[in-house]
Amino acid sequence: PKWVYAFGAGRADGSAAMKNILGGKGAHLAEMSRLGLPVPPGFSISSDVCRAYYKAGRALPEELKPMVDEALELVGQTTGSRFGDPKDPLLVSVRSGSRASMPGMMDTVLNLGLNDETVEGIAARFGDRRFAYDSYRRFIQMYGDVVLGIDNHLFEEQLEHFKNMKGYDLDTDLTAEEWLEIIRRYKDLVEKELGEPFPQNLHDQLWGAIAAVFGSWQNARAIAYRRLHDIPDAWGTAVNIQAMVFGNRGDKSATGVAFTRNPSTGEKELYGEFLINAQGEDVVSGMRTPQSLTAEARRQSNDRRDSLEEAMPETFAELCAVCDKLEAHFRDMQDIEFTVEDGTLWMLQTRNGKRTMPAALKIAVDMASEGVISREEAVASINPAQLDQLLHPTIDPDAPKEVIGRGLAASPGAASGELVFDADEAVHLRAQGHTVILARVETSPEDVQGMHAAAGIVTTRGGMTSHAAVVARGMGRPCVSGAARIQIDLDKETLSAGGVTLRKGDIVTLDGSSGEVIKGRVSTRQPEMSEAFATLMSWADDIRRLEIRANADSEFDAAQARDFGAEGIGLCRTEHMFFDENRIPVMREMILAEDIEGRREALAKLLPMQREDFVALFELMAGKPVTIRLLDPPLHEFLPHDEAHIGEIAKAMGISKARLSRRVAALREFNPMLGHRGARLLVSYPEIAEMQARAIFEAACEAGEKLGAPVLPEIMVPLVTLKAELDIVRAHVDRVAAEVGEERGMKLDYTVGTMMELPRACLAAGEIGLSADFFSFGTNDLTQTTFGLSRDDAGRFLGEYSDKGIIRHDPFMTLDEGVQELMAIGLERGRAAHPGLKVGICGEHGGDPATIRFCEEFGMDYVSCSPYRVPIARLAAAQAKL
């Protein structure tokens, strides 16, 4: 088998297309080599070997050895040094990298190839002992941690202790002799912890590191990350072995990370950080505060230290050229790692950069406008589910607030919640329904689950590319990072700043857009939609076929829906209009009436109120279709349930408590969800349907006159099982339409359809379709009734079902296949009986991208969802069509 793929010096065995076996890092290193970019030579061991390694019970196949030896030889030929050569030793990094990006979750070892002998070779070759020993101590620490399993902390302690003793602030303060002393201490530490000395045999080191990187695929945090992101365990990681380049060789050396565009705003500018005389993770570790790449960014952050642009102008120009080339080639914003060794630029990694939603929109629209990608590709590049981030509230700028501290605006959005200091506790509290804000000095990959559970994250250390900032942006969590003036005491669990001390459980608000940390809760307000958002949405609208409507019962919801681009209302639940405090007494009067006359009297009082509601809705929707559902819930829902309440209400109504109690008892049902409701109620009390129909038609006339254009109401009958039910209700509606038409001297245009929410209705769609002008699948009830599962009680065991792998998705969130099949049957039979039957979906699923894809594929006419999900639906509908 071919297990080893070389890259470097303008050539490569692999390419970007081979992510599946080389991992993202390896495939892109190969691709960068092919592009002629400066990549230190190396090779990737394919993820097939990872699978073989686990299959053999964590053992590497024998055949791998000669392949690796040969590849290492080739790297040596390219660099001119040899692995293990005491005079001129080749040093390598051993890096993980799987096909899905899992930043920082697996292990990497740098500076491998050093022992007591070769370190002198390095010192002599570069004429720099300090650098050689610095590299060696880094190696012992990393190897000790990653391969030998010695707690990294113990090494750090040694170093901190030594620095304190000497009164040093920075690692760069140590001299060559002092690093030698540290090396001695580190080696003692290893021997003490392990009972044997630090390995001096370089091949043992190499194979130990390779096995450790494969092993890190199954470390706890990698497993947790895969769960969170749905990455299959079977993929495995590749191992990349690459010649070291040194950013820690003095003042003309540096290491850094960069995004080709700003990952927060999407602005086209080089964005990132670097450190002079540093290596590897120094930039993101928060040990030293990194410097800006561009002069502009330096000015904005008031940093007195030179930016890369100022310190190394030629290298900076070269870096910019590389970025342009990478973007043009990968046709996306890139997140890169680079190192400068003694004035020479080296590329160590590139991948598509994670970004906030506002940035994603701007980048997609800009790149399409620049002609790098097509409009379709721009539309396809946005994850509809993540649009959510944009549509959520931000801090109201006029609200009073007590700002206690400030940090970097690392990930936008605002969140309030209870303060916690521990990632596991965040997970725990979240599970109990709390909203929490996670406060840490800095975060590490171990904290990822806690960050996910938190509504927002604040750290006191680290820059815009710190772990906390990058991960929070990826998750869409607001984040304030590097709030240096805030003190966090992890033992006492307090956060102090500006003379205020907050304890665990206190409410705190973060504004990830301004970097403010605020005491207590702050009111928020709706976001303004960016130009890029509007542009992308208009492109999506050009592509999509499905009509997007909203579920809205109030003027407020309808206005929101219209602003988000809804093309009509797909579901107006009229019962919500009766719960109003002025109306519910009249509703009760109607329910308590002894006979039809009494009910008519009460209904006559409801008529003008209901008419007013509809006039407002019709006017607001300005001629766009509005689907109004006739009364659906059982009457019992409008009555009080407990004794105290019954007494109170009887008194207010001026009737005896006994009489009210009798009526309440009479209407009580064992299973109201499957009881006397919907069409069944309208069959029993047609006067309710008549009143609602009259309100709708009169409102349509009034609004039509005001608008100067006809209003087209769509009247929907809920919970129909039998064609006859629909026929009966429809007859009443038609009669009222004729009456109102006569009274007003005009012919009314309207349609009557049914909500499809019972399995039998789907099966009988061939008959029901004959009497319906439209079907609207009510997938909430259809899911309940198909599963025979109450959505209000299912929470008790659905969690267990999903843990045990019995169900893959919550059927109330993602449309179940059985329910889909019933819908397909209903659609097919309905359309066969009634060509041109209009078919849509309402219910929570209407805003779910996977469901929308199904609706597109089945040729439905529209989806209707909650107002906030309308933009998501518009985008998902376009993507379903691509």
Does 781 belong to an annotated binding site?
yes
Measured CA distances, 708 to 182, 607, 610, 618, 627 (Å): 86, 24, 22, 12, 20
Does 757 belong to an annotated binding site?
yes
Position of minimal CB gap to Mg ion: 781
Closest separation in Å from C-beta 344 to ligand ADP:
12
Closest separation in Å from C-beta 338 to ligand ADP:
8
Q: Does 633 participate in binding Mg ion (rule CB under 5 A)?
A: no
Q: Can you tell me the distance from the alpha carbon of 301 to that of 291, in angstroms, rounded to the nearest whole number?
A: 10
Q: Can you tell me the distance from the alpha carbon of 599 to that of 321, in angstroms, rounded to the nearest whole number?
A: 79
Q: Does 337 participate in binding ligand ADP (rule CB under 6 A)?
A: yes
Q: Does 71 participate in binding ligand ADP (rule CB under 6 A)?
A: no
Q: Contacting ligand ADP (CB under 6 A), which of 213, 245, 497, 566?
A: 245
Q: Contacting Mg ion (CB under 5 A), which of 781, 816, 844, 848?
A: 781
Q: Name residues whose C-beta falls within 8 Å of residue 640's C-beta, 6 or more positions apart in sequence.
A: 646, 648, 649, 660, 664
Characterize the bridge pairing of strands 507-511 and 414-420.
antiparallel
Window 798 to 837, contacts with ligand ADP (CB under 6 A): none
Binding partner at 394 among ligand ADP, Mg ion, none, C-beta below 5 to 8 Å by kind: none
CB 808 within 8 A of CB 870: no
Phi, psi of 273 (to 5 degrees): -145, 155
Does 509 belong to an annotated binding site?
no
Q: Does 98 participate in binding ligand ADP (rule CB under 6 A)?
A: no
Binding partner at 255 among ligand ADP, Mg ion, none, C-beta below 5 to 8 Å by kind: ligand ADP
Closest separation in Å from C-beta 72 to ligand ADP:
13
Q: Does 273 participate in binding Mg ion (rule CB under 5 A)?
A: no
Closest separation in Å from C-beta 845 to Mg ion:
13
Q: Contacting ligand ADP (CB under 6 A), which of 120, 281, 388, 612?
A: 281
- Sequence length of the chain is 882
Q: Does 348 participate in binding ligand ADP (rule CB under 6 A)?
A: yes
> Given the complex with ligand ADP, which of 111 and 551 has the nearer CB atom?
111
Locus of tokens 């080639």: 329
Q: Does 690 participate in binding Mg ion (rule CB under 5 A)?
A: no
* Token pair recorded at residue 183: 């090396």
Q: Can you tell me the distance from the alpha carbon of 863 to that of 870, in angstroms, rounded to the nearest whole number?
A: 9
Q: Contacting ligand ADP (CB under 6 A), which of 244, 454, 532, 875?
A: 244
Helices 596-621 & 584-592 angle (0-180, nearest 10):
150
Q: Does 280 participate in binding ligand ADP (rule CB under 6 A)?
A: yes
Measured CA distances, 221 to 103, 218, 447, 869 (Å): 11, 8, 9, 33
Closest separation in Å from C-beta 204 to ligand ADP:
20
> Given the complex with Mg ion, which of 553 and 757 has the nearer CB atom?
757
Closest separation in Å from C-beta 718 to Mg ion:
6
Phi, psi of 528 (to 5 degrees): -95, 140
Binding partner at 236 among Mg ion, ligand ADP, none, C-beta below 5 to 8 Å by kind: none
Q: Which stretch binds Mg ion (CB under 5 A): 242-250, 427-435, 653-661, 753-761?
A: 753-761
> Given the complex with ligand ADP, which of 47 and 879 has the nearer CB atom?
47
> Given the complex with ligand ADP, which of 26 and 678 has the nearer CB atom?
26
| Residue 809 annotated to the active site | no
Closest separation in Å from C-beta 458 to ligand ADP:
24
Q: Does 81 participate in binding ligand ADP (rule CB under 6 A)?
A: no
Binding partner at 104 among ligand ADP, Mg ion, none, C-beta below 5 to 8 Å by kind: ligand ADP
Question: In 3-state terms, what secondary structure has residue 503?
Answer: strand
Residue ranges of alpha helices (H) inside 456-564 are: 467-475, 531-543, 555-563
Q: Does 660 participate in binding ligand ADP (rule CB under 6 A)?
A: no
Q: Does 778 participate in binding Mg ion (rule CB under 5 A)?
A: yes
Q: Does 568 participate in binding Mg ion (rule CB under 5 A)?
A: no
Closest separation in Å from C-beta 96 to ligand ADP:
6
Q: Does 635 participate in binding ligand ADP (rule CB under 6 A)?
A: no
- Residue 39's nearest CA partner among 352, 254, 349 is 349
> Given the complex with ligand ADP, which of 339 and 851 has the nearer CB atom?
339
Q: Can you tell me the distance from the alpha carbon of 567 to that of 561, in angstroms, rounded to the nearest whole number?
A: 9
Q: Does 412 participate in binding Mg ion (rule CB under 5 A)?
A: no
Closest separation in Å from C-beta 240 to Mg ion:
10
Q: Can you tell me the distance from the alpha carbon of 99 to that of 19, in angstroms, rounded to the nearest whole number?
A: 5
Binding partner at 38 among ligand ADP, Mg ion, none, C-beta below 5 to 8 Å by kind: none
- Residue 422's nearest CA partner among 434, 436, 411 is 436
Q: Can you tell me the distance from the alpha carbon of 39 to that of 36, in angstroms, rounded to the nearest whole number?
A: 8
Sign of CA dihedral 686, 691, 697, 703: negative
Closest separation in Å from C-beta 33 to ligand ADP:
13
> Given the complex with Mg ion, which of 366 and 757 has the nearer CB atom?
757
Q: Which stretch binds ligand ADP (CB under 6 A): 237-245, 297-305, 368-376, 389-397?
A: 237-245
CB 736 within 8 A of CB 690: yes
Does 629 belong to an annotated binding site?
yes
Q: Which amino acid is at 176?
A: A
Q: Which amino acid is at 151?
A: D
Window 117 to 156, contacts with ligand ADP (CB under 6 A): none
Question: In 3-state terms, what secondary structure has residue 165?
Answer: helix
Q: Can you tell me the distance from the alpha carbon of 213 to that of 183, in angstroms, rounded to the nearest whole number?
A: 24
Give per-residue burial for 306-322: e unless 16+ CB within 10 Å, then b: ebbbebbeebbebbbeb
Q: Which stretch binds ligand ADP (CB under 6 A): 14-22, 104-112, 127-135, 652-660?
A: 104-112
Site string for Mg ion, 342-361 (x = CB under 5 A): -------x------------
Q: Which stretch binds ligand ADP (CB under 6 A): 93-101, 133-141, 677-685, 854-862?
A: 93-101
Q: Can you tell me the distance from the alpha carbon of 768 to that of 772, in angstroms, rounded to the nearest whole number?
A: 6
Binding partner at 40 among Mg ion, ligand ADP, none, C-beta below 5 to 8 Å by kind: ligand ADP
Q: Name residues whose C-beta falls within 8 Å of residue 50's C-beta, 6 or more positions apart in sequence.
A: 214, 217, 236, 237, 238, 239
Q: Does 335 participate in binding Mg ion (rule CB under 5 A)?
A: no
Window 31 to 50, contacts with ligand ADP (CB under 6 A): 40
Q: Does 110 participate in binding ligand ADP (rule CB under 6 A)?
A: yes
Which member of 28, 452, 467, 732 is catalytic?
467
Q: Can you tell me the distance from the alpha carbon of 772 to that of 754, in angstroms, rounded to the nearest whole number?
A: 6
Q: Does 349 participate in binding ligand ADP (rule CB under 6 A)?
A: yes
| Residue 842 annotated to the active site | yes
Phi, psi of 686 (to 5 degrees): -60, -20
Q: Can you tell me the distance from the alpha carbon of 514 to that of 675, in angstroms, rounded to the nearest whole number?
A: 53
Does 465 belong to an annotated binding site?
no
Closest separation in Å from C-beta 506 to ligand ADP:
35
Q: Which long-range contacts (CB under 8 A, 24 or more apart) does 329-332 make?
A: 329/31, 329/35, 330/16, 331/367, 331/372, 331/373, 331/377, 332/363, 332/367, 332/381
Q: Can you tell me the distance from the alpha carbon of 90 to that of 83, in angstroms, rounded to the nearest whole number?
A: 4
Which member of 323, 479, 701, 842 is catalytic?
842
Phi, psi of 190 (to 5 degrees): -60, -45
Q: Name residues whose C-beta falls within 8 Å of residue 796's C-beta, 6 or more positions apart in sequence.
A: none
Residues forming contacts to Mg ion in the complex (CB under 5 A) are 349, 757, 778, 781
Specify binding-site residues: 573, 629, 757, 778-781
Specify binding-site residues for substrate: 573, 629, 757, 778-781
Residues forming contacts to ligand ADP in the complex (CB under 6 A) are 40, 93, 95-96, 103-104, 108, 110, 242-245, 255, 280-281, 337, 339, 348-349
Mind telling me the catalytic residues?
467, 842
Specify binding-site residues for Mg(2+): 757, 781
